[in-house]
Amino acid sequence: MENTVAIDVSNVSKVFASGTAQEVKALDDVSVAIFKNEFFTLLGPSGCGKTTLLRLIAGFEHATSGSIQLDGAEISSLAPYDRPVNTVFQSYALFPHMTVAENIGFGLEMQGRSKTEVEATVSKMLGLVRMETLRDRHIDQISGGQQQRVALARALAPRPKVLLLDEPLSALDLKLRKEMQVELKRLQHETGITFVFVTHDQEEALTMSDRVAVMNAGKILQVDHPHEIYNRPNDRFVADFIGDTNFIRARIIDKGSTHMNLDIGGEKSIQLPTPSDLAIDGEITLAIRPEQARICGTEDSPIFEGKLAETIYIGTDTHYQIDIGTDSPFVIRVQNTSGEAQQLTQGDMVAIAVDSAVIQILRD
Amino acid sequence: MSKTLAQQESLEAQAQRKEVKRNLLLSTPALIVLICAASGPLLIMVVFSFLTSGDYGGVKWEWSTEAWFQVAFYRDIFDDTVSIADAHLSILWRSVRLSFLTTLTAFVLGFPTAYFIATRPPETRNIWLFLVTIPFWTNLLIRTFAILEIIRNQGVVNTFLLMIGAIDQPLDMLYTDIAILLGMTYVYIPLMILPIYASMERFDFKLVEAAYDLYASRWKVMKRVILPLVKPGVVAGSILVFIPSLGAYVTPRVLGGGKNLMLGNLIELQFGQGRNWPLGAALSLTLLAIVMIALIVYVRSAQKQGATHDS
């Protein structure tokens, strides 16, 4: 991927009701660079500021401070109709008094394109989203999934430099959502337009994106490729928000050059290789993905032991909750490949092995 | 088999008849009110308009089309020459013109007002709506006299303009068509604001953002997105203002003085001093006909416009 910057957000803050008692800091000194032809996702819980950032790029809100550049030109003071950026709204916001074709052609018409050009582009767009047969339907005569496609076609028709998508799939049912995820990826490839996608669904973010920015409380915590975000979260919030994670609070007892001993509150201390870049002393948090730990025999090198508290069978996987003396049980996910249930009963003592490479040491 | 089917059909028909009967029974009060309060008087007017006027008011039970003739023509009492009734036609024209202008002015002022209210935060909207409806609390006559007090030669406006030296002598605003227009706009504008507001409240302002996003200027957003979608409110508001304006009586009487009559005043004159009840009845029915024709034309054109926008 060529890494030319399409959108450069630098030091942007947004304060709502500024100067009043109910001042809300929606964005707090956010900087991020979004590359050309990239499927970029803003991921975070509701109220984290992801939609505000999107609306700032679209021009519906103006930043309290900071700058937003598109292809090197400052756009933060431009009105929405002067920005080569289009939005797909969460509620679609399709014009109910117009047909499918009129909705798709609206942006082109407003740009003052000729009638023949509008016609041609609308037909092309209808083909792109596979809606040719419904061109003269009214918006209330088509289904939610079809409205979604029309909203996409309408926003893509003027060929924006950047397409902003504000949780566009949240109103669809699961099956349709999966279909549209694939569809969106295809559209992004076919059009070569930069997509900035906002979602609170971590699975959606990981499946679709080239890069993901995880946000919380008005800040961007980590920007990286999905597998890096999943495997190398740099923050406890990121590790917790993306997928399931076992967190273990630990205290460094002694730190050697190769190995360190950690106290996790149980009877025994555990030993881990000292990461070369560990700058923290004292209290740390270990993050371990449930599928990256395994139950082992003593011949393997177990790092904890615990009592099996609960076995949860969910078809493809079995979840084991193991009491290792910490506040919450340690969860191990085992894929059911053999078709036979593992012979473990509640109360058994089990040993847990984890490759030290997959243990994340997080700042708090 | 066919017999049972027929039986079933007759049963269904019976049930249907029963239903019709019950509906009729339930709507009886409404029907009584309609017949007694609307159709009855209307029928009396129709009958009166075809009778001869009595010498001291009232009617004589003699068939005559003279009243209908007098609506548009004038017969000289001495030589029976017939000429067009200029006075009636000019009053008719003034009524239509002033009502149209009132509707237009109410729209021009009322639409932004409704827009303003609809875009306020929900908790303050009711306060604005409340302010709009406050004039309804006062009697129409008193409100009209208040306007008179404001615009008369020694009134608030003239006194102020004289004081600051903008004019040398008071402006003659009272007893003009402008005064009537002002009064009627003031009286009827809430009837324009409220239905437009009702439409606008249901309007999804996300659509405005979507249109801005798709390169529409402010004016285009108004013309292509907001206006078409709040049109039902505009149509309702226009009808609600136009109809009472056309039949207005108090406002033109007070603010138009004796000389600037509107249809309402002309009709009153025939039943009062004019002692020509049949002509009054014929004029009333003319007014009714104008309203109905105007309504049909307006609603049809609004529908047609909507249809070209919609499909």
Which of B64, B195, B184 has the alpha carbon at shortest distance from B129?
A: B195
Burial A112-141 (b: 16+ CB within 10 A, else e): ebeeeebeebbeebbebbebeebbeebbee
**B278 burial type by CB count under 10 A (0-12 exposed, 13-18 middle, 19+ buried):** buried
Question: Which residues of chain B neighbour A85 with C-beta distances below 8 Å?
Answer: 213
The rounded distance, in Å, linking the Cα atoms of A68 and A33 is 10
For residue A339, the model assigns a pLDDT of 63
Residues of B with Cβ-Cβ distance to A158 under 8 angstroms: 214-215
Of A106 and A312, more confident: A106
CA distances from A11 to A16, A63, A307, A330 (A): 17, 10, 49, 39
Cβ–Cβ < 8 Å for A139, A76 = no
Phi first, then psi, for residue B238 (nearest 5°) are -65, -40
Contact A93 B210 (CB under 8 A): yes
Local structure of B92: helix, strand or coil: helix
Which of B216, B228, B310 is nearest residue A81 as measured by Cβ atoms?
B216
Q: Which domain holds residue B288?
A: 84-310
The class level of CATH for A244-362 reads mainly beta
| A residues 128-167 lying closer than 8 A (beta carbon) to B | 136, 138, 154-155, 158
Cβ A97–B311 below 8 Å, yes or no? no
Identify the DSSP state of A38.
Answer: -
Distance CA B131, CA A227 (A): 60
Q: Which pLDDT does position A84 carry in this prediction?
A: 93
**Banded pLDDT at B153 (limits 50, 70, 90):** confident
**From A340-354, B102-116, B240-254, the region with the lowest mean pLDDT:** A340-354
Q: Chain A 62-121, CB below 8 Å of chain B: which residues?
A: 79-81, 85-87, 89, 91, 93-99, 106-107, 110-111
Residues B135/B143, Cβ–Cβ less than 8 Å: yes
Does B2 fall in a domain? no
Q: How far is A131 from A123, CA to CA, in rounded Å?
A: 9
Q: What is the pLDDT of residues B215-224, one digit of tens each?
A: 999 999 999 9
CA distance B54 to A175: 83
Helix crossing, B122-133 with B177-202: angle to 10°? 150
Q: Is the pLDDT of residue B253 over 80?
A: yes
- Per-residue pLDDT tens for A111-129? 999 999 999 999 999 998 8
- Non-local CB neighbours of A313 within 8 Å, separated by 6+ positions: A336, A341
What is the pLDDT at residue A152?
A: 92
Residues A333, A290: contact at Cβ < 8 Å? yes
Could you tell me the CA-to-CA distances from A159 to A100, A112, B50 in Å, in that order?
A: 18, 14, 71
Q: How far apart are CA A281 and CA A233, in angstroms?
A: 19
Query: Does residue B284 fall inside a structural domain?
Result: yes
Q: Where are the alpha helices (DSSP H) in B260-310?
A: 263-271, 277-310
Are B267 and B70 spatial neighbours (Cβ–Cβ below 8 Å)? no
Helix segments in B73-205, DSSP class H: 86-118, 122-133, 140-151, 156-164, 177-202
**Site of tokens 């041609």:** A120
- Mean pLDDT value of segment A46-58: 92
Cβ of A81 within 8 Å of Cβ of B310? The answer is: no
- B216 and A CB contact within 8 Å: yes
Residues of chain A found within 8 Å of residue B209, distances taken between Cβ atoms: 60, 80, 87, 89, 93
B225: distance to nearest CA of chain A, Å?
7
pLDDT score of A160 more than 60: yes
For residue A242, what are its two tokens? 């993306």
Cβ separation B213–A87 shorter than 8 A: yes
Residue A285 phi, psi (nearest 5): -120, 135
Query: Which residues lie below 8 Å from residue B282, measured CB to CB, with a gap of 6+?
Result: B49, B67, B68, B70, B71
Which one is predicted more confidently, A136 or B5? A136
A73-87, A203-217, A296-310: segment of lowest average pLDDT = A296-310
Judge: B311–A79 Cβ closer than 8 Å, yes or no: no
User: What tokens appear for A235 in the block?
Assistant: 């923050």
Is B306 part of a structural domain of the chain?
Answer: yes
At residue A309, does pLDDT exceed 80? yes
Q: Model pTM?
A: 0.78
Least confident of A43-52, A178-187, A213-222, A266-275: A266-275
The whole-number pLDDT of residue B187 equals: 92
Structure confidence at residue A330 (pLDDT): 87
| CA atoms of A343 and A34, how far apart (whole Å) | 50
- B-chain CB neighbours of A138 within 8 Å are 310-311
Contacts of B228 in chain A (CB under 8 A): 97
Decide if A287 contacts A362 (C-beta within 8 A). Answer: yes
Cβ contact B206–A97 (<8 Å): no
**Which of B210, B224, B311 is opposite residue A89, by nearest beta carbon?**
B210
Number of folded domains that form chain B = 1
Q: Is residue B26 part of a domain?
A: no
pLDDT, position B306: 57
- Mutual angle of helices A144-156 and A115-128, in 10-degree steps: 130
Q: Please, what is the average pLDDT of chain B?
A: 88
The minimum CA-CA distance between A104 and chain B, rounded to whole Å, is 10
Looking at residue B3, its pLDDT comes to 59
Question: What percent of chain B has pLDDT above 70?
Answer: 96
Query: Which has the closest alpha carbon to B202: B167, B172, B231, B173?
Result: B231
Contacts with B121 from chain A: Cβ below 8 Å: none
% chain A with pLDDT above 90: 46
Q: How many CB atoms lie within 10 A of CB A34?
A: 22
Q: Which of A103, A69, A73 is nearest to A88 (CA)?
A: A103
CB A59 within 8 A of CB A162: no
* Option in A60, A110, A136 nearest B216 (CB): A110
**What is d(CA B16, CA A118) in angstroms, rounded to the nearest whole number?**
54
B212, B215, B225 ranked by CB distance to A111: nearest? B215
Give the span between the Cα atoms of A187 and A155, in whole angstroms: 12
**pLDDT tens digits, one per residue of B4-32:** 767 777 888 888 888 888 888 999 999 99
Round to whole Å and give the CA distance between A342 and A308.
13
Model confidence at A1, in pLDDT bands (50, 70, 90)?
A: very low
Residue B2 has pLDDT above 60, yes or no: no
| Separation of alpha carbons A238 and B169, rounded Å | 79
Q: What is the mean pLDDT of residues B204-213?
A: 94
Q: What CATH number does residue B187 fall under?
A: 1.10.3720.10
Of B213, B225, B229, the CB nearest to A86: B213
Instruction: Locate A335 and state its tokens.
Output: 């894929």
Round to whole Å and give the CA distance between A47 and A216.
8
Region A333-354 average pLDDT: 78
Q: Does domain A5-240 have CATH number 3.40.50.300?
A: yes
Highest mean pLDDT among A17-26, A337-346, B295-304: B295-304
Size of interface A-B (CB pairs under 8 A): 67
- Among chain A residues, CA nearest to B227: A97
